[in-house]
Amino acid sequence: MGHRLSKIYTKTGDKGETGLADGRRVAKNHPRVEAIGELDTLNSHLGLLLADLAEQEVTWPKLSEISAVLAPCQHRLFDLGGELAMPDYQALQEGEVERLEVAIDHWNEELGPLRNFILPGGSRLVALAHVCRSLARNAERRCQQLNAEEPLRPVGMAYVNRLSDLLFVAARLIARRQGIDEVLWQAAEKPTP
């Protein structure tokens, strides 16, 4: 896949442009670069969530299933970023979207229906999963923005969408497996007349 980095700085981006793997130079705020950046941000935070999950698995062994499902997502996000950097490159497969859907359905069986709006919190792990979920939505919006200008493969769009759903369900499952109550939204009191 493309070039391997042997030198970290090249000084070619000092004037606000960056190179894509196909040789094109684009502005650093080009929608393609924005989408790649949002995927990278999501991937970084997902790495933080996975590191914290690994630390907590000693106390809560049932968290290891969540890690096992989420760990491959880092690699697939990198694949998707590669597709955006090299528009002719295709790495992400439809089976990856299906893998996320199977996990969502399986975890939802354990959780049961959601009866209230929930807020990020309850534990650091739950909050981190929600941070990742919201970053997945950011990445999805950036990909949609790029897609409006330069059509992308539907599988990438579907993957980021399902990943945000998976992270929402993972946040709920983490709370359940940690024995922590979810933080339920409470409507503001109506002003008295």
The reply to whether 75 falls in a domain is yes
Interatomic CA distance for residues 110 and 89, integer angstroms: 38
pLDDT class of 3 with cuts at 50, 70, 90: low
The reply to whether 171 falls in a domain is yes
Domain count within the chain: 1
Tokens 């950011």 appear where?
138
Give the pLDDT of residue 1: 47
SS3 content of the chain, % helix, strand, coil (to 5): 60, 5, 35
pLDDT in tens, 17-47: 777 777 788 778 889 999 999 999 999 999 9
The reply to whether 53 falls in a domain is yes
The reply to whether 193 falls in a domain is no
CA distances for 113 relative to 47, 99, 116, angstroms: 28, 21, 9
**Average pLDDT in the 173-184 region?**
94
158: its two tokens: 């579907």
pLDDT in tens, 45-90: 999 999 999 999 988 899 999 999 999 999 999 999 999 999 888 9
**Average pLDDT in the 115-140 region?**
96
The reply to whether 42 falls in a domain is yes
The reply to whether 104 falls in a domain is yes
Give the domain extent around 106: 27-184
The reply to whether 8 falls in a domain is no
CATH at residue 49: 1.20.1200.10
Contact by Cβ (8 Å): 175, 130: no
Q: In this predicted model, which residue has the larger pLDDT, 60 or 6? A: 60
Q: Is the confidence at residue 166, as pLDDT, over 60?
A: yes
Give the pLDDT of residue 120: 95
The reply to whether 20 falls in a domain is no
